[in-house]
């Protein structure tokens, strides 16, 4: 994880509509930047829908929600449509930003070792500084946890 108190690294990635978004576009707003393993899986859907359900509350607090995974733009569009997600999903198939934010780690499942995204969330302030970094978050609890931090 990147250290609290450091400047969040800037990046540009395409969203679910193929439109590029840069982190610096969000200066002046709080950003909840969450990294998740895969569209349309149980945990990732639970987490995304949790953020969607609370989205008006995040807006009231001046925060935007941005999800990042290595899924394609098309996969993100399907995920957004299927779950009526009101926030931005960014596609990082080459894992450049995922690695930049130090959430690409060795994982183990059923005795198999592989590289993958560790479900993690950053809270970035209006000046682009990381104020909270949470690793191995629980999909169901993370949206409310982030709302409470605001």
Report yes or no on whether pTM surpasses 0.85: yes
Contact 29, 10 (CB under 8 A): no
What is the secondary structure of 34-58 as a DSSP string?
EE-S-TTSHHHHHHHHHHHHTHHHH
- Which of 13, 31, 44, 48 does the annotation list as catalytic? 44
pLDDT value, residue 108: 87
Return the number of other C-beta atoms located less than 10 Å from residue 63's C-beta: 22
The verdict on whether 44 is a catalytic residue reads: yes
pLDDT value, residue 109: 82
Q: Give me 77's structure tokens.
A: 């569009």
**Alpha carbon 61 to chain centroid distance?**
18
Ordered per-residue pLDDT tens for the chain, 150 residues: 999 999 999 999 999 999 999 999 999 999 999 999 999 999 999 999 999 999 999 999 999 999 999 999 999 999 999 999 999 999 999 999 999 999 999 998 888 999 999 999 999 999 999 999 999 999 999 999 999 999
Helix, strand, coil content of the chain in percent (nearest 5): 30, 35, 35
Q: Give me 67's structure tokens.
A: 């999800």
């Amino acid at each position: 994880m990147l250290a609290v108190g450091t400047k969040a690294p800037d990046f540009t990635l395409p969203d679910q509509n193929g439109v590029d978004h840069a982190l610096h576009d969000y200066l002046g707003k709080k950003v909840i930047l969450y990294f998740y393993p895969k569209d349309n899986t149980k945990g990732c859907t639970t987490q995304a829908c949790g953020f969607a359900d609370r989205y008006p509350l995040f807006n009231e607090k001046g925060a935007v929600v941005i999800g990042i995974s290595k899924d394609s733009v098309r996969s993100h569009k399907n995920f957004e449509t299927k779950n009526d997600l009101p926030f931005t999903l960014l596609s990082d198939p080459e894992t450049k930003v995922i690695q930049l934010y130090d959430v690409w780690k060795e994982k183990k499942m059923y005795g198999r070792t592989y590289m993958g995204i560790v479900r993690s969330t950053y809270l970035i302030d209006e000046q682009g500084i990381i104020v909270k970094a949470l690793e191995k978050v629980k999909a169901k609890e993370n949206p409310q946890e982030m709302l409470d931090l605001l």
